[in-house]
Amino acid sequence: MKKIIAVIAGGDSAEFEISLQTANHIYNSLDREKYIPYLVELQGLNWKVKLDNNYYPVDKNTFSFTHDNNKVNFDFAYIAIHGTPGENGILQGYLQLMQIPHSTCDVLSSALSFNKHACNSYLENLGFRVAKSILLKKNQEYCINDIIAKLGMPCFVKPNADGSSFGISKVKKTEELKPAIIKAFKEGNEVIIEEFIDGLEFTCGLLKSKSENLIFPVTEVLPKKEFFDYEAKYDPDMAEEITPARISKELTLQIQNLSSEVYDALKCKGIVRVDYMIRGNEIYILEANTIPGMTSNSFIPKQVAAMNRNLKDILSLVIDNEF
């Protein structure tokens, strides 16, 4: 009997539209011989199923909807929301209460990986190499000179808990730091300031399931802008991505093994992507993305293709792992 899949998109972050693109790519890639998928758009408390250009409200008491007087109960949730509530554990908590299996990490892992400073502190404590950083909270006093003394220039200013690349600034001059902090606070109540690592950027996706563990090929990222911001991430003209990366087999294996260790350390589930900067012989973990982009221009579909694998089969691994 075919499983009924809710592909959940939208959310309450600045990446709402990108989430819809991710969800559509997943929806169109799912194996119709095994699953009956529906697109579920979620924004705030407005949850609705999109079907034939019509919308049907989701009953949050049963995680179901009614169409032509027939009640449709979902067997599985494929979460495609970047940012809150899909990437920070909130939606996962609801689904676990409803006993609905889902595609991503559980509550704790999602919440931890979503909070950049908390995740980096946790990984650093386990022996992983991460960039030096400072956490600021809204309305907290801070000293520009103290920040510069610890992190140096240039540095990056980012919202601490956000699923997108909005609000990020590369700061090169002292007078640019305060405006960058103000900009980042517009996206959330905490801001993380990180040292600038002058090196090469790489990313590696992976999936571990009961039937198969897959470490994807490493991608080399060459932004045509100063750094890999929202525009560079989703505009194919703003970055060059090379998969597999033009690095030695030894370094490739090192990055893949490190990705596997991070996946296990964070107790991840489903498809995850780990981002890196390499300076000299040192590999720095930038972040772990527990709901990476899955648009046609995203890293994961390209890495899957580079493995000569079909995205349809990879998504089936994610879903079937829960049954």
Answer whether 283's CB lies under 8 Å from 247's CB. Answer: no
Residues 134-168 pLDDT 10s: 999 988 899 999 999 999 999 999 999 765 567 88
Domain count along the chain? 3
Q: Same domain for 124 and 83? A: no
Share of the chain above pLDDT 70, in %: 94
**Structural domain ending residue among the three candidates 195, 210, 235:** 195
Mean of all residue pLDDT scores within the chain:
93
Residue 229 has pLDDT above 60, yes or no: no
Q: Same domain for 204 and 191? A: no
pLDDT score at 57:
97
Output the six-digit token pair for 218.
């490493």
Output the six-digit token pair for 176.
């640019």
Short-list 67, 149, 16, 19, CA closest to 7: 19
Q: What is the CATH number of the domain that holds 144?
A: 3.30.1490.20
Q: Same domain for 57 and 74? A: yes
Residues 113-139 pLDDT 10s: 999 999 999 999 999 999 999 999 988
pTM for the whole structure: 0.92
Q: Which amino acid is at 271?
A: I
Residues 213-227 pLDDT 10s: 999 999 999 977 665
Q: Same domain for 206 and 266? A: yes
Inter-helix orientation angle 311-320/16-29, to 10°: 90
pLDDT score at 227:
55
Q: What is the CATH number of the domain that holds 277?
A: 3.30.470.20
Q: Calculate mean pLDDT across residues 100-125.
A: 96
Q: Residue 79 is part of which domain span?
A: 3-103
Q: Where are the strands (E) in the chain, listed by range? A: 3-10, 35-43, 46-51, 54-57, 64-67, 70-73, 76-79, 133-137, 155-159, 169-171, 190-195, 200-208, 213-223, 239-242, 270-279, 282-289
CA angle 317, 320, 323 (to 5 degrees): 155
Q: What is the CATH number of the domain that holds 67?
A: 3.40.50.20
pLDDT score at 188:
83
Q: Same domain for 41 and 72? A: yes
**Cα–Cα distance between 243 and 246 in angstroms, integer?**
8
pLDDT score at 224:
72
Q: Same domain for 210 and 290? A: yes
Q: Same domain for 181 and 289? A: no
Output the six-digit token pair for 249.
């087999």
